[in-house]
Amino acid sequence: MADKLDAPTTSSTDAGSGPREANSGPKAIIKNVDMSEEMQQESVDIASAALEKYNIEKDIAAQIKKEFDRRHGPTWHVVVGKNFGSYVTHETKHFIYFYVGSLAILIWKS
């Protein structure tokens, strides 16, 4: 069963109207993870902030990577999109793959 973490954001697939309560945006659905609970929540928070700021997947990925490099040192890699395959090698405890709405986000350190 996939873990769920709050992702307080809206996306282009979120068709709500009127005022929204905090944390009422799409939930982050964790698909695969090798990361502490604290860092998982941080990943969702950083991704949510990037999703609020940018609409282009490349820009979202760049913002997430820059923030992870700043907070945790290099070298982080980020893929954001709706349709991709991956097979990566990562440092232990430094990998997360999750969805926010229909957008997949893959973050890992090598």
Reported as a single tens digit per residue, the pLDDT across 21-64 is 345 568 999 999 999 999 999 999 999 999 999 999 999 999 99
Give the tens place of pLDDT for each residue, 60-96.
999 999 999 999 999 999 999 999 999 999 999 999 9
The structural domains of the chain, ordered by start, are 28-109 (3.30.740.10)
In a 13 Å sphere around the CA of 63, the CA atoms on its Cβ side amount to: 20
CA quadruple 12, 16, 17, 19: dihedral sign? negative
**Full-model pTM:** 0.79
10 Å CB burial of residue 13 (0-12, 13-18, 19+) is exposed
